[in-house]
Homo-oligomer: A and B are copies of this chain.
């Protein structure tokens, strides 16, 4: 395959182990969590989101869409993005994300609770 061909990059299944929604805090940049998804394919990505908890079964009623050849940022403190599910503050959870077409996914957190902005990021684990 020619490396310059427009081959589609990504995987269909992702996990982010360490999710936790920080308080907004006092700084200019409000604390938040995000999942950023790239869809390199020519069709829309239909995505199922599962939330894993420490002490109960996963919540599975969240659906996302990312358009063909687009990037989209989902915020965990945005009720519309979470299809009405209210993510609790400062509580351990994890995300499993399954897509109809290959995607690439990164997790980002901004903590500003001590007015000294700190970042936390990783690519997701993919298969």
Query: Which A residues fall within an 8 A CB radius of B?
Result: 3-4, 7, 9-10, 12-18, 27-29, 34, 36-38, 40, 48, 52-55, 57-58, 69-73, 92-94, 96, 98-100, 104-106, 108-109, 111, 113-123, 125-127
Q: Of B54, B71, B109, B115, which contacts A114 at CB under 8 A?
A: B115
Shortest Cβ distance from residue A51 to the other chain B in the assembled complex, whole angstroms:
9
A18 lies within 8 A of B70 (CB): no
* Interface SS of A by simple majority: strand
Q: How many copies does the complex hold?
A: 4
- B73 A54 Cβ-Cβ under 8 A: yes
**Is the pair A99, B3 in contact by a Cβ cutoff of 8 Å?**
yes
Please measure, in the bound complex, the distance between the C-alpha atom of A93 and the C-alpha atom of B34, giving whole angstroms: 14
Contact A119 B117 (CB under 8 A): no
Could you pull out 19 A-B pairs where Cβ atoms are within 8 angstroms? Answer: A3-B12, A3-B13, A4-B98, A9-B13, A15-B38, A17-B36, A18-B34, A28-B114, A29-B113, A40-B96, A52-B69, A54-B70, A54-B72, A58-B69, A111-B119, A114-B115, A114-B116, A120-B121, A123-B125
